[in-house]
């Protein structure tokens, strides 16, 4: 495994990030523990979760599963760079949501308890909070860093100008600010190339793409259809509007002799400022399959053909849409 740095930091992380959103609702605790053990064995040291994962309000089901895995010992916690998130509603009370200083501090302490650890390596804001000033957010995050509860701070689902706002406010406080952004990014969803990618590059932030296979759209969906396996209704609706693209994509993957899912991940890994796409295996087989992406080298011709199939926004803003 060749490790990379998380943005401009000295923190070394694997080029694939283990997403844990399925742990609990889709994957049993025993299977989740086995997948995390296997990920470490394969060199994946970067795990991503959130306080709302598990989808039972206030319980933090997925964090609890990870916490019980850490508690097994064997240097599991020491070997893992754990990232979690704050923002989502943890109760029906008004102050248990969003990014007020109160919620940031209380949510952090709750995540630490569930994760059975004394610090969070990367604490991410799950969404932007337009109603809380950056002075308040950074004051709360700064205190958590001083207390040793948080090492680095990241964002998720931010626009480029939100990143700029956050970084300039952090700079005024002489605070490190954001070190990463977690965005929707894959071959079929390239909007972030307009402004988010350039903002991350300008501020030395790592980009952590979520949904790298577009909820399965890029994972060999047509092949699975032929095998009698059907995707969710939502993905089927998306497929109806881009079947020609997906047919061309899977045909190219056949020519390359690679699985569509592996090609989609391999393309992301080589994109500028990308630190690690988030893979969300429900099974050990899916984990093993994702590792193949790190071995694939896409030549310039393959990249050109992928750009022809999934053209993206045409470059960065404003040149992509103005003279």
Q: In what order do the strands lie in the sheet with 17-19?
A: 206-210, 178-184, 150-156, 120-125, 81-86, 46-48, 17-19, 278-279
Q: Which one of 53, 152, 185, 203 is the catalytic residue?
A: 53
Identify the CA nearest to 110 among candidates 37, 156, 50, 45: 50
The whole-angstrom separation of Cα 193 and Cα 196 is 6
Nearest CA to 179 out of 81, 267, 315, 45 is that of 81
Contacts of 251 (CB under 8 A, 6+ apart): none
Instruction: Confirm whether 249 is a catalytic residue.
Output: no
Strand partners, 154: 124
Closest CA to 83 of 52, 50, 118, 128: 50
Give the number of C-alpha atoms closer than 13 A to the C-alpha of residue 317, restricted to the C-beta side: 13
The conformation of residue 277, written as its DSSP 8-state character, comes to: P
Query: What burial class does residue 85 get, using C-beta atoms within 10 Å of its C-beta: 0-12 exposed, 13-18 middle, 19+ buried?
Result: buried
Catalytic residues, which ones? Answer: 53
């Amino acid at each position: 495994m060749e490790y990379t740095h998380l943005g401009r930091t000295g923190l070394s992380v694997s080029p694939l990030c283990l997403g844990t959103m399925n742990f609990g609702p889709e994957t049993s605790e025993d299977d989740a523990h086995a997948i995390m053990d296997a990920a470490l064995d394969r060199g994946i040291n970067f795990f991503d979760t959130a306080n709302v994962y598990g989808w039972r309000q206030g319980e933090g089901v997925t964090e609890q599963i990870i916490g019980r895995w850490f508690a097994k010992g064997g240097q599991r916690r020491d070997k893992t760079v754990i990232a979690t998130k704050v923002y989502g509603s943890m109760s029906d009370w008004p102050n248990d949501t969003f990014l007020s200083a109160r919620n940031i501090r209380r949510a952090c302490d709750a995540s630490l308890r569930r994760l059975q650890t004394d610090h969070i390596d990367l604490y991410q804001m799950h969404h932007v909070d337009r109603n809380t000033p950056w002075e308040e957010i950074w004051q709360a995050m700064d205190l958590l860093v001083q207390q040793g509860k948080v090492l680095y701070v990241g964002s998720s689902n931010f626009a480029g100008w939100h990143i700029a706002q956050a970084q300039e406010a952090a700079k005024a406080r002489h605070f490190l600010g954001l070190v990463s952004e977690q965005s929707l990014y894959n071959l079929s969803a390239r909007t972030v190339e307009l402004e988010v990618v350039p903002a991350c590059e300008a501020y030395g932030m790592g980009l952590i793409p979520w949904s790298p296979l577009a909820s399965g759209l890029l994972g060999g969906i047509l092949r699975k259809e032929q095998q009698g396996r059907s995707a969710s209704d939502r993905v089927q609706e998306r497929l109806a509007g881009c079947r020609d693209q997906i047919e061309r994509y899977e045909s190219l993957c056949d020519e390359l002799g690679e699985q569509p899912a592996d090609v989609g991940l391999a393309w992301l890994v080589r994109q500028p400022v990308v630190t690690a796409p988030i893979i969300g295996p429900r099974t050990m087989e899916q984990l093993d399959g994702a590792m193949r992406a790190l071995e694939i080298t896409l030549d310039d011709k393959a990249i050109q053909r992928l750009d022809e199939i999934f053209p993206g926004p045409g470059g960065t803003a404003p040149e992509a849409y103005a003279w």
